[in-house]
Chain A
Amino acid sequence: MRFLDVTDPWIRWDWVAAHLPSIWADLLEHVELTMIAVACGLLIAIPLGIAAYRLRPLRDPLLAASDVLYAIPSLALFAMLIPFTGLTIVTSEIGLIGYTLLILLRNVVVGLEGVPADVRDAARGMGYRPAVQLLRIELPLAIPAIVAGIRIATVTTIGLVTVTALIGEGGLGRLILDGLIRDFKSPLLVGTVLSILLALAADLGLAGAQRLLTPWSRR
């Protein structure tokens, strides 16, 4: 094994102790960047997903377009936005919202399409109008798929936020970038490990929320 700076240990607890306030601030910023991205992605994905579900001609083009956009590397996407939106939180958020949107859109469509045909027929037979049927029957039944999408989107976004350090935002990514710039392992490790723990905590929390939201699916 070869370490760039052999005198630098993997973790220096004195550094960690001295930097708890700034690490905490980075963590909070990380959470904030993630929450804005997922919330906004969801606000856009639900109407778009309903449109794709209801208007068949829109479905395949929308999903295919999201597949194509998804293939653009995040660093490239952020870099391409800089000329238009500058070095602001907006640049980071447009990129992050874009990626969450793609994951969420797919799950909204899949969730709505997964509603069993006989359930829909029964609702229609009971005289539900389409809008009411959507709100009362189809969307609630799509919740598990939508929450699954939120989980994937949240965990993915937490990883992606670190990349925005390269364009001046970054949350915990700042620590990783500091580690790269100064050849300093402690911030690098703290940033990476906290980012993983944050993602796992968010995933567990959302799994709990899913159980609360869909009491009928509990065994």
Chain B
Amino acid sequence: MAIAALTFAACGGETSNPPATQAKGNITVAGFNFSESSILASIYGKALAAKGYNVSYKLNLGNREIVQPALFSGQIDLYPGYAATELEFINKNKGEAGSDAQANVDKLNGYLKPQGAEALTPSAANDENAFAVTQATASKDKLTKLSDLSPYASQMTLGGPPECPTRPYCQPGLEKTYGLKFKAFKSLDAGGPLTKNALSNGDIDIGLVFSSDGGIAAKNLTVLQDDKHLEAADNIVPVIRTKVANAEVTALLNKIDAALTQSDLVAMNKSADVDKQDPDALAQNWVKQHGFA
């Protein structure tokens, strides 16, 4: 047993190579498990690398439930966040997020700073939760906005990511703000191929998608208007460990956010998801075009 413990310890040592220290330091950039997040994380990473930082990536890492704790524990240093979603995640769904992105970020920083992290300046580009039905369903039941659903909801199955039933801007929000109680919920992915195909195949009747998704039209889906303003301003904002957020890094990330537009985002998402271009290559293009590398 002692030998086993020793060899195990030896193996443990073998697996953890401390990263070599570089002149400008190491930054680990993480992303959530959808292409937009990979694109944004790669944009941050490439711009930082161009400034001489030693950048490593942890992309497609999972959802916020995995990524945020990893940031606080220092396993990652930076990820592209979303102002309202980050806030409502860290405040355990208090419902503080509103329609002003900067106000959301200010409140978010009240929670992040004690954890040794912070959110920088939000971009104009945003990616809010949205709910889509097929064009066939929309025209059959004359649906254009979420409140139109009330006569039908009890017969409908909602599809979304596994965390949807516990997120205020997903199932509980639809229930509270619109009074929509669905027949069932089906665990799929975060606005990805599972959700969009489940809609097309009729496995679900309404699904969570993202406002910046470039592939909604291609799948003949209709996004229902959020007429009671359930969704708060979910603008893109870098979330970073304070320890790595020196003046140069902060200024660079804020400049990226200022340059990123909604139409850039939608176009890049379409290229990645519909045309299967590389998130990495799309990020490279954007960074070059905008003079960050």
Contacts and interface: CB of A to CB of B under 8 A. Distances in A.
| Residue of A47, A174, A177 with highest tally of chain B CB at under 10 A | A47
A87 B75 contact: yes
A134 interface: no
A138 interface: no
A93 B13 CA distance: 12
A167 interface: yes
B34 to A, nearest CB: 6
| Residue of B60, B70, B273 with highest tally of chain A CB at under 10 A | B60
Nearest to A89: B15
Contacts of B3: 47
Contacts of A18: 278
B4 A48 contact: yes
Contact of B11 (A19, A97, A183): A97
Interface in B263-286: 272-273, 276, 278, 280
A55 to B, nearest CB: 11
Contact of B276 (A4, A12, A51, A93): A12
A43 interface: yes
A47 B7 contact: yes
B114 interface: no
A93 B10 CA distance: 13
Contacts of A99: none
A180 B280 CA distance: 17
Contact of B15 (A47, A90, A180): A90
A183 B193 contact: yes
A44 B75 contact: no
A168 B62 contact: yes
Interface string B63-76: 00010001001011
Interface residues of A, number: 37
A87 B276 contact: no
A36 B34 CA distance: 30
A216 interface: no
Contacts of B14: 36, 40
A29 interface: no
A182 B4 CA distance: 43
Contacts, number: 81
Nearest to A12: B276
B75 A88 contact: yes
A117 interface: no
A171 to B, nearest CB: 13
Interface in B8-44: 8, 10-12, 14-16, 33-35
Contacts of B58: 87, 168
A15 B276 contact: yes
B70 A174 contact: no
Interface of chain A, helix or strand or loop or mixed? helix
A181 B193 contact: yes
A88 to B, nearest CB: 7
Given A165-B60, A181-B60, A40 B276 contact: no
Contacts of B66: 82, 87, 168
Contact of A182 (B15, B35, B280): B35
Contacts of B75: 86-88
Interface string A12-29: 100100110010000000
Given A5-B193, A181-B33, A44 B8 contact: yes
A203 interface: no
Nearest to A5: B193
Contacts of A82: 66
B60 to A, nearest CB: 6
A177 B12 contact: no
A182 B268 CA distance: 13
Interface in A136-164: none
B171 to A, nearest CB: 22
Contacts of A86: 70, 73, 75
Q: Which 8 pairs from chain A and chain B are nearest by CB? A: A183-B193, A40-B11, A43-B7, A47-B3, A184-B276, A4-B197, A44-B4, A168-B61
Given A4-B193, A168-B58, A168-B62, 4 more contacts: A87-B58, A88-B16, A180-B193, A181-B189
Interface of B: 1, 3-4, 7-8, 10-12, 14-16, 33-35, 58, 60-62, 66, 70, 73, 75-76, 189, 192-193, 197, 272-273, 276, 278, 280
Interface of A: 4-5, 8, 12, 15, 18-19, 22, 36, 39-40, 43-44, 47-48, 51, 82, 86-90, 93, 97, 165-168, 174, 177-178, 180-184, 186
